Structure 1
Amino acid sequence: MTESPQRTRGFQLGRAFGGRIIVQPSTLVMLVLLAFLFSTGGGADLTRRGFTIGLILAVLLFVSVFLHELSHAATAKALGREVHEVVITLWGGHTSFDARGLTPRDNGLTAAAGPLTNLVISGLAYALLATGAFDITLVDLVEGDITGYLIVQYLAVANLILAIFNALPGIPMDGGRVLESVVWAVTKDRWRGVIVAAWGGRVIAVGVVLYALGAPLAAGRTPTVFDVLWAGLIAVILWPAASQALRAAQHLSKREVVSAGSVMVPAIAVPYTASVDQALAAAVAAGAREVVVTGADGAVAGHFPVAIGEAVPAESRDATALTSVLMPVPRGSEVPPTLGGEELVMRLREWWGKTDGWVVVDSGRPVGVARLSDVMEALR
């Protein structure tokens, strides 16, 4: 059974597709703020009716975001993955699920589900407007009785914007995850895909700022404070997220090339009945720097560096038993030379503090010793 990640703090509203539905308290603050902005955005005075309509629009926006995230959860579940949480936050939301053994297909399909859902909602809203059910007359405009039309129109436009923005090819947008999956599938290198998508996110962050400042100038006007603020807000969200993904990919990519075999010290196995002199002779002949000692049952009992054996006086080595230089290892600390990636990291966490190293065994024969400190250094 997959271990669930740490629970996100917030109000739990239930469960969907096996995962918890969490709304963070900051979401309520954003709802009120958006309601205020929607009701006074055109310079209008704040009224009860205006604020109510603004609150309805804000709620519809968060419902659209929720359906966006819910589609991620539904797709992950359909692909056989355990869904942990669907979280609605101050700036939108996120969905967490079991990503072990993730494939480019699963990653790309799960990411694409969000923007596609918003696109469908937008299409349905535009289709509803096209039926004429919300036709506007001059009297409607004069009397201001156009609430229904504006709400449906807002739903159509807001979801179209959500779909387009989230489809942009850069992390943290869903389009970035799709781009990551495409590069991953072509190159067979997941972290190269993340790096490309992270740089895409950085380019988009810069592009937002350039557009916010350049569009007004191209139209012959000076950028307003609002232009600068919204561009800066988007940039400070996108740039750090893309940069964090880039750093993580550069670090995690090392896991793909680091293995127990790549960091091990060559070793030779000798039985526990051998003397220090015999063990050193075998190590010299094999060009080994470590000696692995096997017990009466043939299992690994411990190891010691050749340098420790050489510290025994030469005249005493033939009569010195291996138990005097042996560094015991716990049962189960043998690993194959191919151990790498996430499994290597998980095994490192499991054994850190319990032993100083693993005995690397290939085809039933000890061939090396991988010191845990060397493994940790290689992963940095």
Structure 2
Amino acid sequence: MTDAPQRTRGFQLGRAFGGRIIVQPSTLLMLVLLAFLFSTGGGAELTRRGFTIGLILAVLLFVSVFLHELSHAATAKALGREVHEVVITLWGGHTSFDARGLTPRDNGLTAAAGPVTNLVISGIAYALLATGLFDVTLIDLVGGDITGYLIIQYIAIANLILAVFNALPGIPMDGGRVLESIVWAVTKDRWKGVIIAAWGGRSIAVGVVLFALGAPLAQGRTPQLFDVMWAGLIALILWPAASQALRAAQHLSKREVVTAGSVMVPAIAVPYTSSVDDALAAATRSGAREVVVTGADGAVAGHFPVAVGQAVPAESRGATTLTSVLMPTPRGCEVSPTLGGEELVGALREWWGRTDGWVVVEHGRPVGVARLSDVTEALQ
């Protein structure tokens, strides 16, 4: 989720809640694969009728996934965020939106909207089944039929499974994002929430495989190859996604402790009318390693390291003006010592190549110089 995300490649079907609706070509491959699996499940012979029924069920599953993703987009839009894309992919889908200034509430509500939508769809479908009005032939297919009851029953079960699976407390599931938001809200540390939720995702990946192997063994039978393959496939999706989130959180959490104040070099401010000798004397008294020079209007005009001033011959320092050692500073490059996180990174991008450092100002008084090279090193 970025300010200007790259466009996802695929077929654009329109827009919803301001975002593009994209279907990736790989989705068609998954539809065919699911149709084959649905039609041959339980060892049934592949037939035209069976494949058609399987394709209908696969399409209904992806419609449920699409509604799941639309609910994410609708919630993000309702919370005042710009929706970029709603993407249907080989393994399901994802929704991207503007995440600048994201809060635990917005993160949690947007994530929870998906499973809640599937749960509502499942509840409606089960309510319709209870009416008894749908046990009629819906489609005639090559000498067989699909009843409305079976279609709605499938929708109810599929959406219930989607709701439960996505509610599991681990990244990349929506439940993992909800867990992340809860930890974030309690600890005030977003990345701690991501790390805990990522470990939850890893645990679920392992648990899926153990269940696929252990459940049959507990019943005294040998695990089926099909079940083991599906469990392994799910684990191969969950584990890398959770691991990527874990690595990202461990890296990005460093940004939270890096501030302009934490990397700055102590500085003392002197007026431009001072001599090098005066500036060095002031720096010695305050223990500063940088000298910030202010102009006639009191604004920062530039700075120089104490070592540069000391390089001026001692007998000449009293008569040497600061303009001879000054490194000019562009207007506006003063920052607060508390500048950190994404704002620090954004400021670094803005000023890189325009100045060698920021003047750190606290309570209207320059207190240090944060060299951009030091900031970059601290963030790595």
Tell me the TM-score range normalised by the shorter chain. Answer: over 0.9
Structure 1 stretch 238-247 or stretch 38-47: which is displaced more? 38-47
> Post-superposition shift, 1:147?
4.2
Q: For residues 1-380 of structure 1, what are the structure 2 equivalents within 5 Å?
A: 3-135=3-135, 145-380=145-380
> Post-superposition shift, 1:21?
0.8
> SS at the partner of 2:262?
helix
Find the aligned partners of 2:347 and 2:323 in 1 and give their Cα distance. 27
Kindly provide the amino acid, as one letter, of the partner of residue 254 in structure 1: K
> Post-superposition shift, 1:43?
2.4
Find the aligned partners of 2:213 and 2:252 in 1 and give their Cα distance. 36
> SS at the partner of 1:292?
strand
> Post-superposition shift, 1:324?
2.2
Kindly provide the amino acid, as one letter, of the partner of residue 278 in structure 1: D
CA deviation profile, 1:264-296 (whole Å, cap 9, x unmatched):
111011122222111111100111000111223
> Post-superposition shift, 1:71?
0.5
Find the aligned partners of 1:253 and 1:333 in 2 and give their Cα distance. 25
Find the aligned partners of 1:315 and 1:225 in 2 and give their Cα distance. 88
CA deviation profile, 1:100-126 (whole Å, cap 9, x unmatched):
222221111111110011111111222
**Identical residues among aligned pairs (%):** 89
Q: What TM-score comes out, normalization by structure 1 length?
A: 0.94
Find the aligned partners of 1:125 and 1:53 in 2 and give their Cα distance. 19
CA RMSD after TM alignment? 1.9
Kindly provide the amino acid, as one letter, of the partner of residue 150 in structure 1: L
Kindly provide the amino acid, as one letter, of the partner of residue 201 in structure 2: G
CA contact (8 A) 2:49 2:144 kept: no
Find the aligned partners of 2:45 and 2:203 in 1 and give their Cα distance. 39
Provide closer, same or farther for how the CA distance between residues 88 and 304 of structure 1 changes in structure 2, counting only shifts above 3 A. Answer: same
Find the aligned partners of 1:334 and 1:115 in 2 and give their Cα distance. 46
> Post-superposition shift, 1:146?
4.2
Kindly provide the amino acid, as one letter, of the partner of residue 344 in structure 1: L
Q: Which runs of 5+ in 2 are unaligned?
A: none
> SS at the partner of 1:241?
helix
Q: Which runs of 5+ in 1 are unaligned?
A: none
Find the aligned partners of 2:194 and 2:72 in 1 and give their Cα distance. 19
Kindly provide the amino acid, as one letter, of the partner of residue 374 in structure 1: D
Q: How many residues align?
A: 375
Kindly provide the amino acid, as one letter, of the partner of residue 297 in structure 1: D
CA contact (8 A) 2:277 2:317 kept: yes
Kindly provide the amino acid, as one letter, of the partner of residue 166 in structure 1: N
> Post-superposition shift, 1:42?
2.8
Q: What TM-score comes out, normalization by structure 2 length?
A: 0.94
CA deviation profile, 1:182-237 (whole Å, cap 9, x unmatched):
11122222221111111111111111111111112112122232222111111111
